[in-house]
Amino acid sequence: MRRERVAARGRIARVAAALTAEPQSTMAWDQGAKGEERVGARLDRLREHGVGILHDRKIPGRGNIDHLAVTTGGVWVIDTKRYKGRPALKVEGGLLRPRTEHLTVGGRDRDKLVAGVQSQVDHVRRALGDVPVTGALCFVTAEWPLIGGAFVARGIQVLPPRQLVKTITRSPAGPVDVAATMHLLDRHFRPA
């Protein structure tokens, strides 16, 4: 994963990094990578149940997909985040105004995260055609309640790691050929 690429840069780069103060963006990136590794380890255990797993895949042009999980019921596009605070769905409007849904974490607007996963889902749908694709935002260090807490924001599942794994394994079976879909995903989304 990302940490391995940093380690592979060589001794001089690691020494230079050790002697200079890390910018905040580097520390945030490192924290995000740790969250991805934790979720990745949980997802890897699903291979025993016939789930295909791909990690850290490039989106043509820019960006990456943290994790892809392939079941006979479809594909899960998973974006891992390390945010403090409680994720919540804020709903506005309804009777007289159009209903709108907003993701907040710790009271702060995080709609861009939902839009990011929606974009990733769109890329995967274009690559796969008729295969069902579900997007998920997995918050690793958020303040989740002991029971429940997961919700759907504008079509994207928002949940903690333990519920992500349960939701994937309990999703209905379908006609998706896991091996063929994995091959197609690997061809369209190369390792980052």
Instruction: In whole angstroms, give the CA distance from residue 153 to residue 8.
Output: 38
DSSP for 51-94? -EEEEEEEPSSS-EEEEEEEETTEEEEEEEE---S-EEEEEE--
The DSSP secondary-structure symbol of 191 reads B
pLDDT tens per residue across all 192 residues of the chain: 445 544 555 555 455 455 555 555 454 445 556 778 999 999 999 999 999 999 999 998 889 999 999 999 999 999 999 999 999 999 998 788 898 999 999 999 999 999 999 999 999 999 999 999 999 999 999 999 988 899 999 999 999 999 999 999 999 999 999 999 999 999 999 999
Cα end-to-end span (Å), the chain:
8
Diameter over CA atoms, the chain: 63
Q: Which two tokens stand for residue 11?
A: 């001794």
Q: Kindly report the CA angle at 69 between 119 and 62, in degrees rounded to 5? A: 35
Instruction: In whole angstroms, give the CA distance from residue 190 to residue 185.
Output: 8
What is the model's pLDDT at position 53?
98
Name the pTM for this structure: 0.82
Q: Is 80 left (phi over 0), alpha (psi -120 to 50) or beta?
A: beta
User: What is the distance of C-alpha 131 from the center of its chain?
Assistant: 18
> Helix, strand, or coil here: 168?
helix
Q: Kindly report the CA angle at 116 between 128 and 40, in degrees rounded to 5? A: 75
> Helix, strand, or coil here: 142?
coil
Class level of CATH domain 2-188: alpha beta
Place of tokens 């990011």: 116
* Phi, then psi, of 76 in degrees rounded to 5: -110, 130
